[in-house]
Amino acid sequence: MYAIGHSARPLDKFIEIFLAHNITLLADIHTVPRSRHNPQFNRESLKIELLKIEIKYRHLKALGGLRHPSKGSINVGWENASFRGFADYMQTTEFAEGIEELIALSERFNSQVASDLLARCTDPVHLGAFTTAVFFGRDDRIGAFVTT
């Protein structure tokens, strides 16, 4: 599995990464798959562009962020409420089902996040039995391999 943050990349540079690594599916894990600042990555426009080059697009909202902490959260070690909210959400059936759906896709694919900074990208590393290669930085290098 590969993880990629779209950041403010031009769409053609983003697509070059897919082609260079023979990736055939993008699993978009944004809760809200659109961007005011980078509309080329909005669900509908991105899906159309990817289909032109035979790359499938799948939106997996169940794996996205923007989650609020649960009342009585056990994840009190997270001082940041957004991180605590996502940690709480990761314990839900909905999240587990989203992971199962992602695994069932069983292809080489990217999961997409907004940031191209590795430290801001945590979703892909929570998958069991996968090696995740993370693209980050301006030169689109594979910056880390995380086996979970």
Confidence bin at 126 (pLDDT 50/70/90) = very low
Handedness of CA 26, 147, 126, 103 (dihedral sign): positive
Distance CA 61, CA 65 (A): 9
Confidence of residue 18 (pLDDT cuts 50, 70, 90): confident
pLDDT band at 141 (very low <50, low <70, confident <90, very high): low
Q: What is the pLDDT of residues 79-107, one digit of tens each?
A: 999 999 999 999 999 999 998 888 888 64
